[in-house]
Chains A and B, each alone.
Chain A
Amino acid sequence: GQQVMQIPQYQHVQEGEDFTTYCNSSTTLSNIQWYKQRPGGHPVFLIQLVKSGEVKKQKRLTFQFGEAKKNSSLHITATQTTDVGTYFCAGGGGGNKLTFGTGTQLKVEL
């Protein structure tokens, strides 16, 4: 079945540093979504990418979908303490199911 891996599993940064998490699928994806989960909270939708090579930005967050539609990345510029949480990618294989990645836990220190 479809597998989606994320690296790194954990990331500690100082406030103001950049952060990147990478998502890799074992199969070609039809779409990829990104979610953020604050500690003790539930996943919240951030964005969806559909097209090969697509790049989308949300303020300090930049999302990319690979040309082969098998990988994606989320980059945060100049992290803030409000960025703390776990970031998940979730890949669609064309059917009704989304396969979630293992997540990257981000901690931001002052």
Chain B
Amino acid sequence: GAVVSQHPSWVICKSGTSVKIECRSLDFQATTMFWYRQFPKQSLMLMATSNEGSKATYEQGVEKDKFLINHASLTLSTLTVTSAHPEDSSFYICSARAMGGKLFFGSGTQLSVL
């Protein structure tokens, strides 16, 4: 079945550094990818919708200059958390929409900012 690969699975970084998270659709082309954030015991919160070859659409309250999204190809989207701070510590997960609308999720990235 279709697989979405997300890397890294976890990352620890110092405050002020930038962290890049990759999301790849391995055996299908994803014209649309979604980036979510999840706090412990809470539901997923959509951060942005990423369309191949165009600028991402950010949800209200999500800083586009802080959470840079690039969807350079039909199989790869990246989320870069710039100048990370402890409050950015969270679980980030991507999903990709395949033809027909079915969604496939990455395994998530646990970010801890010290």
Are A and B a genuine interacting pair, yes or no?
no
Residues of B within 8 A of A (CB): none
A interface with B by C-beta (< 8 Å): none
